Amino acid sequence: MPNLIEATIINGKYAGENVCIPRIPMIPTDLPFEFKRLQFPVRLAFAMTINKSQGQSLSVCGINLENHCFSHGQLYVACSRVGKPSALFVLTSDQKTKNVVYQRALE
C-alpha cells in the first residue's frame, strides 16, 4: 500500500508475527523554511556470506552467529572486516558460539 509496509518479524520474542509500519511525518528544524514530508522509518541494509566478505573493508558490520561457524577461520574473517571493535555487532542465541580450531594449529 502507498502509506503502509506490511512485514513479518523473522526472529526474537515476536517471531512470525505480522506488523504494519506506517509512514511518519518528518519535519526538519535546521532549515530557514518549514516543510513536512511523509517517510517510512526504514534503512537500507545489505547481507553477504562470510566467504563472500573476504577482502572487504566495512565501516559497520553485524554478524549473525545463531548458527555456529562451520569452518576453521570463518569467525576470524567475519570479525576482522571492520577496523574498530565498536563497529562490530554480533548476534548469538545464548551469548556464545563455537569456534572451530584444529588442535594441530595450536602446537
Do both 1 and 23 map to the same domain?
yes
Partners of 58 in beta bridges: 82
Sequence-ordered alpha helix ranges (H) in the chain: 74-79, 103-106
91 in helix, strand or coil? strand
66-106: pLDDT as tens digits:
877 777 778 888 888 898 889 999 888 777 777 666 666 55
Q: Which domain holds residue 95?
A: 43-107
11-53: pLDDT as tens digits:
778 889 999 999 888 888 888 888 888 888 888 888 888 888 8
Do both 5 and 20 map to the same domain?
yes
Do both 80 and 106 map to the same domain?
yes
Length of the chain equals 107
Domain count, the chain: 2
Do both 26 and 75 map to the same domain?
no
d(CA 41, CA 100): 39
pTM beyond 0.85, yes or no: no
The model's confidence at residue 6, banded by pLDDT at 50, 70 and 90, is: very high
The distance of Cα 59 from the centroid of its chain, to the nearest Å, equals: 12
Do both 50 and 88 map to the same domain?
yes
